[in-house]
Structure 1
Amino acid sequence: MSLVDYIPGLNPDDEATKWNRRRSAKRAANYVILISMSIMYFFPIFWMAKAALQPRNELYDQTVYYLPQEITFENFRALLVDSQFLTFYANSIIVALGVVAVTIVTSTLAGYALTRVELPGKKRIAQTTIFSYMYPPILLVMPMFLLWYAVGMTNTYVGLILAQSALTVPFSIWLMWQFFQTVPISLEESAWMYGASRLRSFFGIALPMAKPGLIAVAIFAFAVSWNDFTMANILMQEPSMRTLPVGVLFFTESNAVDWGAILSASALIAVPPLLLVYFLQRYLLRGFRVAS
């Protein structure tokens, strides 16, 4: 006999029914919210892909077609053959991979040092790095341009990689600092007792255990570099050195916009970040969950 049997006027069946109804209503509301958000986020992607596969005359038609009346790859052919899109694509890949490498090396060493080496005010240093990330790129780009121009680093991969790394390294240091705090130092101390050097314990113990954090930093750095417009637009003046966000801008003219080329380019630009996040999402979520 349960407690509810001793309460006058309380029917256990009615209470169970009400609870089940509330649970069903809450679940239905959650599904409605999730479906609505999915439609809101994925509809622009669907519309972009649909428009990229449409003939150019349909793009300027006053009638709205939710599905293409005719599927064509003419927009992609013109983009890949008749423009410098592949050059822009190669530039973006080179710069993004360089930014990822610089960010991982810098943030990993700095984060490890802030958690393992006795430094005066190291906690304040680690917390200060996150505030430097709050400055918008527009405040940094002009001083960087003047400095880069003086030393001859404009229109170079190295110059743009270093400039974009200035946007990714501060947050990545804070992220790795948070993550290395979850790696027990007792494991490294045990290795030291058996004669392992600090360098060996770093590569053999701390770094493998920080793998989710490293992947989270890599995805973050890649995304920032891949989507950066401000730094690339100012530091890369040569047409052959433009990256994708800047290169796509030049598909617009003073009195016309080549929507077929822009939408096709947007579809191809979205492929690498989507694949990267799809295959590494569990590490990304784990890394940011630890940092939070």
Structure 2
Amino acid sequence: MMREIIEIDEDLCVGCGNCVPNCHQGALQIIDGKARLISDLMCEGIGACVGHCPTGAMTIEKREAEPYDEEKVMDKITAGGPRVIRAHLEHLRQHNQKEYLEQAEAYLEKRGIPNPLANQPQELHGHGGGCPGSAARMLRRAPGNEHPGPVAPAGQSAPAQSGELRQWPVQLHLLNPAAPYLQGADLLVAADCTAYAAGNFHRDFLKGKALAIACPKLDQGQQIYLEKLVRMIDESRINTLTVLIMEVPCCSGLLALARTAAGQAERRVPVKAIILSLEGEIQSEEWI
């Protein structure tokens, strides 16, 4: 049958193993120094592993493959114990895989295995879960109160400064792709650490741009990130996409995610990659 499934470019794969723990179906293993898809049956094609690949070796492609089999996956998952079962069920919840989640829970019930998510309310992902702090809003700046501000005299506190942030929220999971501040915007997608490494982050990188922040190593729901970026390109019609990351290998997963989104979108937008050193200096800057 035709379905979406992970494809691995062996020439790009360095065998780092970042993808393996992020495949909760156990479909990936490192064999002979390369990531391998060990079974079509166990790959559900969600692509949570894609954003964790620092070299862009992993993509989602539609091809002829054996149907995904949740029961065969659960045979392996349950052998790992309650923590592994919980991780798998939460993974299915986060990606809104209701059918597979129902199959997994039915598997546990049939065999008398405790369901670690029983009687727990489902968390909402990708839209803030109704938290007032995640409501989309434009930020207004007082005239003359621009970054950087005046230097305070010795012994006195500096006056309050306003940066270049134009909207709220900023975390990619909380951003609504239809928010007005994204319409036709130049979008900066920044790895979390970049604002701390670069002292002039607001002036040098954020000025005049909408902002989305994410961590390609620690954040869950990478497929949600991918879908949102595609929507921002196609529906919000962003003007340009700039990706700001650190030099560390895991950070490049964010760039790989942006490349994939730009490739999947119907519109074409210019994409710029900026890589910072650990000292916050620009190592490279190029349109890709």
Question: What TM-score do the two structures reach when normalised by structure 2?
Answer: 0.28
- Write 1 or 2 for the structure with the bigger share of helix: 1
- Write 1 or 2 for the structure with the bigger share of strand: 2
Structure whose alpha-carbon radius of gyration is higher: 1
